[in-house]
Amino acid sequence: MSNQIEGFMKGFFLGGVAGAVIAILYAPQSGRKTREDIDRKAEELLAKAKKEYKATLKKSSNAYESAVKELKSLESDTKEKVGEMEEKVDELAELGKEAVHDTKGHLIKAVTSAVNAFK
């Protein structure tokens, strides 16, 4: 985006300069009148450049603020999802512990029964 703005500003300035040079070359006026015209045109060009710069700066600022808001929203959503995933992992870990405990109990009973049957 910065390259586009920079390119636009360069083109805007160079176009103004080229227009001023062409106007000077073809002006059938006195030197004093031509210098006055050049000064006036330069001031107009500078005013336009400032106006364009301010507009571009405002657009850039708005785009930046919008991007920051979007990133904060994404951060919040991500934290929420991570919290949900942590809860699921804790639930699954608890279920795994219960399954191991139940299996251990069944295994002990089976071994005890086998030992008693062997005796």
Confidence at residue 27, expressed as pLDDT on a 0 to 100 scale: 66
Task: Please report the pLDDT score of residue 67 as a whole number.
Answer: 93
- Can you give the pLDDT at residue 65? 93
**Going residue by residue through the chain (119 aa), what tens digit of pLDDT does each one get?**
567 777 777 787 788 778 777 776 776 667 778 778 878 888 988 898 889 889 988 999 999 999 999 999 999 999 999 999 999 988 888 888 887 777 777 777 777 877 777 76
pLDDT at res. 41: 83
Q: Which of 38, 46, 44, 43 is nearest to 21 (CA)?
A: 38
Contact assessment for residue 38 and residue 20, using Cβ atoms and an 8 Å cutoff: yes
3 state DSSP class of 28? coil
